[in-house]
Amino acid sequence: MNGESVTPGVGRQGPVEVRRSARRRRTVSAYREGDRTIVLIPARMSADEERRWVSVMLDKLAAQEDRRMLDDDELKQRAGQLSDRYLQGRALPDSVRWVTNQNARWGSCTPALGTIRLSHRLQGMPEYVIDYVLLHELAHLLVPGHGPPFWELLERYPRTERARGFLEGVAAAERLPYVPWSGAPRAADPAQ
């Protein structure tokens, strides 16, 4: 990060990393990276301006994420649309809802009851990822296991591999320790 400095902190949604850049003149931007929020600001900003802009950007991101969140009724409606589009309308869940007790899996399905539950950890992820997990659980209403017939159903969704890669990346990042960049130069690693 040539010409940049980093200030770690903690915000309402987890760790916040402020990156100052000499090349950035006027603009401020922010994005989520795993469980962290990255805020990009000009190097010349004062500490007071930094605090104000971090607060503004956290509020903006939260508002964007709130707009993207589907409630349980919208989630069930989306499940119906996905079933119609990719499963010829054959997967008809009785209920689809967000749950907060699934930390080891992205979703679950009980075919006998026609229920689908999606982990709250999916909220705020790209729509195509949520659609993939929802479609995965819908497919379980038709095929209980993960054998070839199950994967044949999911092959109909064009973003299956991309969504699986995204989720694998998130899962891998969750296993890594958070180590904020110190800004100190590192010695060359002989293993590289």
Burial class of 88 by CB neighbour count within 10 A (0 to 12, 13 to 18, 19+): exposed
Burial class of 57 by CB neighbour count within 10 A (0 to 12, 13 to 18, 19+): buried
Separation of alpha carbons 46 and 126, rounded Å: 34
Q: Is the pLDDT of residue 10 over 60?
A: no
Instruction: Find where tokens 């309308």 sit.
Output: 89
Separation of alpha carbons 95 and 105, rounded Å: 18
Q: Is the pLDDT of residue 66 over 60?
A: no
Section 42-54 average pLDDT: 92
Whole-model pTM over 0.85: no
pLDDT tens by residue, 67-123: 557 788 889 999 999 999 999 999 999 999 999 898 889 999 999 999 999 998 898
Q: Provide the pLDDT for residue 46.
A: 92
Per DSSP (E only), the strands in the chain are: 4-11, 14-21, 29-33, 36-42, 95-99, 107-110, 115-119
Q: Is the pLDDT of residue 32 over 90?
A: no
The mean of the pLDDT values for the chain is: 84
Q: Is the pLDDT of residue 190 over 50?
A: no
- How sure is the predictor about 4, in pLDDT bands with cuts at 50, 70 and 90? very low
Q: Provide the pLDDT for residue 126.
A: 85
Q: Which helix (H) or strand (E) holds 48?
A: helix 47-68
Q: Is the pLDDT of residue 151 over 90?
A: yes
Q: Provide the pLDDT for residue 35.
A: 75
Q: Provide the pLDDT for residue 2.
A: 41
Q: How much of the chain exceeds pLDDT 90, in percent?
A: 53
- List, as own/partner pairs, every contact residues 167-175 make where C-beta atoms lie below 8 angstroms and the sequence separation is at least 24, other chains included: 167/106, 167/129, 167/132, 167/133, 170/34, 170/125, 173/34, 174/34, 174/35
